[in-house]
Amino acid sequence: MTVSYSLEVANARFHGFSRLLLRWKGSIYKLMYKEFLVFCAVYLFFSVFYRVLLTPKQQDLFERVALYCDQFTNTNFIPVLFVLGFYVNQAFTRWWGQYTSFPLPDNLMMVVSGNVHGADERGRLLRRTLMRYANLSSVLILRSISTRVRKRFPTLEHVVEAGFMTAHELKNFESLHSDFNKYWMPLTWFSNLAAQARQEGRVRDDIALRLLMDELNNYRAKCSLLFHYDWISIPLVYTQVGELIINPFGEDDDDFETNQLIDRNIQVSMLAVDDMYQNLAPIVKDKHWKNGVFSVPYTQSTAAETLRPAFKGSTFDMR
């Protein structure tokens, strides 16, 4: 696996590029410094040998051999432009992949609206709580990968204050110990609550429940993909490489992320199906229950951004 450096380049700073270029851990310098020292020693030997020990005639022969060998470098080496093009393509593909992986609630909310029935208060409460759990999961994952969202919700109390989570749910969230990111917990609450709605007859058949769970899994998969985009960066050596192409997975990695991923899968799966089974917080009316018009919850650190007009499309203000 690769060494993650996402946080160091999250903000564009004056010295950001140099910090990335001169980074030691996971860099091409650390991977190749031994070979580089050997190369310098061999080069120094031949340089002294050529300039001091050889006669002019022998130096001429040496130069002919060197020119002959140089002919093969132009045909066997991979051009730098090819490497640069490959890197730019990977960076753009990764950027677009992150954008398309953003967990939008549109499909899920339409499935919830069409399959969780009841015009009474209980039905409305179920639908709103299900969607609140989905939005809460996206907030938790974005807090862990985005500096802007982290500044907007610096603590979980701010998430509670914004109405994404109740105080009782926060207590449940913090009571479950896990060494890994717990963005998946609200989605487990979603699945348990959907099962309750099926038992109450609010979800009328198993086909509708299956549709709910399929959309939930698609939503969860996008949250997970964003997390992995943040965790596994483009190999740092690709940002530092010249004419030399090497294996980007070096001794710094030691397959640590793979082992950690296995540990995470075991722990999370056991927690989700055991400790969290039907362990739901009381379903209460959310903070915006009586609001006909919703105001976007901002913290003080980003209050100034409310003055910016929302983006409605590139042709919205076309003259």
pLDDT of residue 47: 87
What are the tens digits of pLDDT across the range 180-228? 889 999 999 999 999 999 999 999 999 999 999 999 999 999 999 988 8
pLDDT of residue 305: 53
pLDDT of residue 10: 62
Q: Which amino acid is at 37?
A: L
Question: For residues 260 and 254, what is the distance between their CA atoms, to the nearest angstrom?
Answer: 11
Q: Sketch the domain layout of the chain as residue ranges.
A: 1-289
Question: For residues 249 and 259, what is the distance between their CA atoms, to the nearest angstrom?
Answer: 15
Question: For residues 206 and 213, what is the distance between their CA atoms, to the nearest angstrom?
Answer: 10
3-state secondary structure 255-283: CHHHHHHHHHHHHHHHHHHHHCCCCCCCC
Q: Which of 153, 157, 135, 134 is nearest to 144 (CA)?
A: 153
pLDDT of residue 100: 87
CB-side neighbour CA atoms (13 Å) of 301? 10
Question: For residues 152 and 136, what is the distance between their CA atoms, to the nearest angstrom?
Answer: 14
pLDDT of residue 319: 52
pLDDT of residue 95: 83
| CB atoms near residue 165 (< 10 Å) | 26
Whole-model pTM? 0.66
Question: For residues 197 and 208, what is the distance between their CA atoms, to the nearest angstrom?
Answer: 11
Give the rounded distance of the alpha carbon of 275 from its chain centre. 27
pLDDT of residue 276: 62
| Residue 236, helix vs strand vs coil | helix
Residues of the chain short of pLDDT 70, as ranges, are 1-17, 26, 73-80, 83, 236-278, 292-319
pLDDT of residue 253: 47
